């Protein structure tokens, strides 16, 4: 990534509660026991943009949004544990001294409820996402929303007005060729300085976005839910076929997962960070920052 990086930022990984799910669903030949999956989000300290978030994880309103039928099935399938102090807004204030109203940018990887739970807490943020991701959930309610892992009550009423939609046409961000050797041919320079470059990691969800983030200590790839754990990538163990029930495209998921494995093998210097990986804190906060 060195040939395109010009601005370095600081990256911190935080957790907003967690859910439980049988491990075997998320990794081939996994255990039958239930495993804990943290709902992670990232804080990017950018010299010009200030505090930038990658997703927001859960928030207390998740439980309200999932109270009615059929949305309560979401809570039944993936039981959630969350405390108010774990919310993205609360942690941004406690850890960085910034009010939620001062956060100007949120990058939305995709629109599953465990990634957009806190969007309403940030009244002045601009939302960067792939247009295809938003169009896949736009207007969905009831069963069609649930099938997409989407809880419409979590969306700010003015989401579209505050959004920067990104598309292959170059809409929203400059499309750029990525260095040879990466398993992605091109990406999108979100801020025009090479610090955060988005790529399409669809499969788990339509238009899912992953981002390469350049820090003073190296490059990270936040891959959202293109894999559920670093272990799955290291050991080349994709999810069980049953996980395909919640995927937008099984074939796209297999393709993106294989790309992650190739990236890990070809560029071990780039740390890959899945959003629900229990190793994320160590990879980013302990190994990745001075």
Q: What is the pLDDT of residues 241-269, one digit of tens each?
A: 766 677 788 999 999 999 999 999 999 99
Domain 10-284's class? Answer: alpha beta
Measured distance CA(59)–CA(16) in Å, rounded: 7
Residue for token pair 């939609």:
165
- Taking the model in full, what pTM does it have? 0.94
125 vs 33, 50, 160, CA distance in Å? Answer: 39, 11, 12
What stretches in the chain show pLDDT beneath 70? 1-6, 240, 242-244, 287-290
Measured distance CA(50)–CA(84) in Å, rounded: 24
Sorted by where each begins, the domain ranges of the chain are 10-284
Residue 209 pLDDT: 99
Measured distance CA(136)–CA(138) in Å, rounded: 6
261: nearest Cα among 208, 183, 192: 183
Do residues 233 and 242 touch, judged by C-beta distance below 8 A? Answer: no
Residue 231 pLDDT: 92
Residue for token pair 């001062």:
102
């Amino acid at each position: 990534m060195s040939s395109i990086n010009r601005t370095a930022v600081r990256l911190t990984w935080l957790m907003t509660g967690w859910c439980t799910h049988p491990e075997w669903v998320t990794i081939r030949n996994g255990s039958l026991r239930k495993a804990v999956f943290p709902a992670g989000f990232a804080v990017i300290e950018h010299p010009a943009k200030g505090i930038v978030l990658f997703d927001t994880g859960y928030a207390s309103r998740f439980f309200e949004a999932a109270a009615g039928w059929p949305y309560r099935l979401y809570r039944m399938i993936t039981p959630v544990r969350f405390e108010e102090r774990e919310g993205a807004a609360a942690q941004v204030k406690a850890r960085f001294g910034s009010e939620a109203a001062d956060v100007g940018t949120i990058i939305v990887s995709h629109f599953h409820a465990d990634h957009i739970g806190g969007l309403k807490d940030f009244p002045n943020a601009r939302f960067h996402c792939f247009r295809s991701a938003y169009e896949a959930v736009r207007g969905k309610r009831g069963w069609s929303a649930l099938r997409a892992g989407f809880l419409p009550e979590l969306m700010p009423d003015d989401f579209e007005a505050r959004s920067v939609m990104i598309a292959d046409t170059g809409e929203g961000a400059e499309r750029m060729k990525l260095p040879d050797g990466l398993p992605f041919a091109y990406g999108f320079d979100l801020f025009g300085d090479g610090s955060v470059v988005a790529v399409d990691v669809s499969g788990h969800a339509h238009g899912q976005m992953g981002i390469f983030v350049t820090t003073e200590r190296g490059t990270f790839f936040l891959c959202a839910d293109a894999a559920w754990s670093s272990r799955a990538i290291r050991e080349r163990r994709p999810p069980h076929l049953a996980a395909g029930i919640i995927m937008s495209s099984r074939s796209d998921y297999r393709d993106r997962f294989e790309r992650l494995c190739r990236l890990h093998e070809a560029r071990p210097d780039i740390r890959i960070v899945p959003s629900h990986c229990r190793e994320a804190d160590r990879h980013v906060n302990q190994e990745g920052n001075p």
